[in-house]
Chains A and B, each alone.
Chain A
Amino acid sequence: MNRPAPIERNVADSPGTQVGEPVIVARNVTVGYKLHRERKMLTALRDISLTINKGEFVVLLGPSGCGKTTFINAISGIVLPWEGSIEVNGAPVTGPGPDRAMVFQDYALMPWRTVEANLRMPFEFQNLGLSKDEVDARIARYLELVDLKGFEKSFPYELSGGMKQRVGIARALATEPTILLADEPFAAIDAMTREAMQSELERIVMATGQTVVFITHSIDEAITLGDRIAVISRRPGRIKEVVDVNLPRPRFDGDVKSRPEYAKIRERIWDLVKAEALSGAHGE
C-alpha cells in the first residue's frame, strides 16, 4: 500500500500566526465534577497552569483518576473550569468549537453510522461554511490519510479496534482543527497495533502541523510521542513537572527506545511518577 501524500496544509503559513506562539493558555485552573447524590463537589484538578504552543505535541502523563481527562475536557469546552481560565487562540473557552477536536479512548463512533457517515457528523453539527462536495473531498482525503480507503460503507462493528480508532482520528482531523485532543486513544488497542498507530499519529501531525494534547498513562508512549511531558500527580491532580523531550523526529524511523537520551528521560520521569505508581499499587 502506498503511503498517502502528506496533506498540504501548514498551520504556520496561516497569516498572523507563528510557530511557537501560545495557542492554549491555562491559568490556575481548578476543575472537577459534582456528585449530586452525595452532595459533594469533587476536585479533579487543582491550580493547573500550562501554556501550550503552536505545533507542539504535549503529553499529559499521570496515573488513572488523576484528572487528566477532566483537563482535556476543559480544553475542549464540554466542562468549564471552576476557578482560573483557559484561553484557546486568544479567546477564553466557553464551550466546544471547531478549532478543537477530540479522539476518545473508546472510539465513541456512532454504531449506527457507516465510517463515512461518522466522519460527516462534525460537519452536520457545526457550520464550517463548506459545500457538500468540499465535505465529501475532505472525508475521502482523511480516510485515505488513515489508510481506510475502501471502508467508507463499513459499520464500526465490522472493524477491528485499531481500525475503529483510525476512524476516530480521521473524524477528529477532517474538520481541520488547529488543536487535536486525544484521551488515551491507544489504551484499548493491542500492543503491536499500538506502536503502528503511534507512528501513524506522528506522521500525520508532522504533516498537518497540528497542536496536540495527548493523554496517556504509559511512560513509553509519552516519551515516543511528546515534545513535552507534563507529569500529573494523583488526585487532586497538579502538574509535578514539565519534562522536555529533545529527541529528533520522526522517532519511529529508527529504534528511538534504544537511544541513550531516551533512557535518561525515562529514568527522570520514572523518578517523578514512582511514588504515585507505588501508592496506586497499594490501593488508596
Chain B
Amino acid sequence: MADMQDSETKQGSFEDADRIRKLRLTPAELWQQYGPWATTVLNLTIFFILWELFARSGMINQVFFPTASGMFSTLFEGLTRSAPPDAIISGQIIDHLLYTVRTVVIGIGLACIVGIPMGLLMGGSRHVERIFSPYVWALASLPRIALVPLFILFLGFTMKMQVTIVFLAALFPIVINAWAGVKTTEKSLIAAAKVFGANRRQIYYHVVLPYTLPFIIAGVQQGIGRGLVGVIIAEIFGGSMGLGFLITRAADTFNSELMYAVLLLLVLISLSLIKITRMLEAWIAPWRQQALM
C-alpha cells in the first residue's frame, strides 16, 4: 500500500510530525522571497528623487510640473486637514476623497444588487436570457460616457447623477461575468450532481452558484475600474465635489501640486481596490488561483 502513496500532495495533514521540518532560508532564498519588494521600494525612491531633481532644475515651469516633495506635502496636508464646518466649498483633498468614495461605493453596491441576480437569472433561464440579452449587449457596447449629458439633463449636477453613472458603468461587467459563469459551469460537475440525486434547485445552489462566484468577483473587479472612470468623468463634467472636480479646480487655479497629488491618489485607490478584490477572490475561491497558475 505504501508504494502507491502519491508524493505530489502539497498539504497532507499527516499526524506524524516528523514529516514536517523547519526550513532555514539561505540569503539567496531570502532575496528570492523579499527581493521583489526591496526592488520596488528602491525603484520608486530613485524615481521620485529623479523627479525632484528634474523639477528643481527648472527645465519645465513648476506651474505644469511640481516637485515630488511639493506634491507629497500637498497630499499629506490635504488628507489630514478637513475643511472648517462653515465652509461652502472645501479645498481639502480628504473631503473630496470621501465624497468620491461614497459615490463609488453606493453606485457599485447598487450595481451588485441589480447585476448579480440579473446575470444569474440570464444564465439560468433561456427565456430571461432571450428577453434581456439585446438590451444588455446594446448598453454594454455603448460608451457610458456618452450618457453623462443625458443624466445631467435628468438629474442635474447632483450625487444622484454621479451614482447613476457609476451604476451604469459597473453594471454590465458584473451582469456579463455572472451570466458567463453560469453558462460555463463544467458539465461533468453538473452530471456528477445529477447522478448523486441532485434536483434542479440543488444543482443551481450547490454547483452553479459556487462555480460562478469567482466570475462574479472578477465582474465586480472590472466594475470597480469602470466605476472609477465613470465617477471622475461625471465629476469633471459638473458638480462641486469629488476628486474629478478637484482636478479641474486645480487646473483652473494653476495648482499643479494639488493636481498631481490627486492623480497619485487615484492611482493608489485603484490599485488598492484591485488588490482587495484579488484577496477576496483568493479567499473565496482558492482552487481557481491554483488552476490559473
Tell whether, in the assembled complex, residue B197 and residue A159 are in contact, meaning their CB atoms are under 8 Å apart.
Answer: no
Identify the closest chain A residue to B15 (Cβ).
A150
Chain B interface category by residue count: 35 or more
CB distance from A95 to the nearest CB of B (A): 9
Chain A interface (Cβ < 8 Å from any Cβ of B): 1-3, 73, 76-78, 96-98, 100-102, 104-106, 108-112, 121-122, 124-126, 147, 150-160, 162-163, 171, 175, 181, 193, 196-197, 200
Summarize A's interface: helix, strand, loop or mixed.
Answer: loop
Identify the closest chain B residue to A192 (Cβ).
B4
CB distance from B260 to the nearest CB of A (A): 44
CB distance from B142 to the nearest CB of A (A): 29
Total inter-chain residue pairs, C-beta < 8 Å: 107
Given A76-B195, A97-B197, A150-B14, check contact A163 B287 (CB 8 Å). no
Given A155-B286, A158-B9, check contact A125 B210 (CB 8 Å). no
CB distance from A205 to the nearest CB of B (A): 17
Whether, in the assembled complex, B189 has its beta carbon less than 8 Å from a beta carbon of chain A, the answer is yes
User: A residues within 8 A CB of B189?
Assistant: 108, 110
Tell whether, in the assembled complex, residue B11 and residue A154 are in contact, meaning their CB atoms are under 8 Å apart.
Answer: yes
Tell whether, in the assembled complex, residue B1 and residue A150 are in contact, meaning their CB atoms are under 8 Å apart.
Answer: no
CB distance from B278 to the nearest CB of A (A): 18
Q: Once bound together, how far apart are the Cα atoms of A154 and B188, in whole Å? A: 21
Q: Once bound together, how far apart are the Cα atoms of A193 and B4, in whole Å? A: 7
User: B residues within 8 A CB of A3?
Assistant: 1
Tell whether, in the assembled complex, residue A151 and residue B12 are in contact, meaning their CB atoms are under 8 Å apart.
Answer: yes
25 A-B pairs, CB-CB below 8 angstroms?
A: A1-B1, A73-B191, A77-B195, A78-B194, A97-B197, A101-B196, A102-B195, A108-B186, A109-B192, A111-B287, A111-B288, A112-B285, A112-B287, A125-B196, A125-B198, A125-B206, A147-B4, A150-B15, A157-B287, A157-B290, A160-B8, A162-B6, A171-B196, A181-B195, A193-B6
CB distance from B249 to the nearest CB of A (A): 48
Tell whether, in the assembled complex, residue B197 and residue A126 are in contact, meaning their CB atoms are under 8 Å apart.
Answer: yes
User: B residues within 8 A CB of A100?
Assistant: 195
Whether, in the assembled complex, B270 has its beta carbon less than 8 Å from a beta carbon of chain A, the answer is no
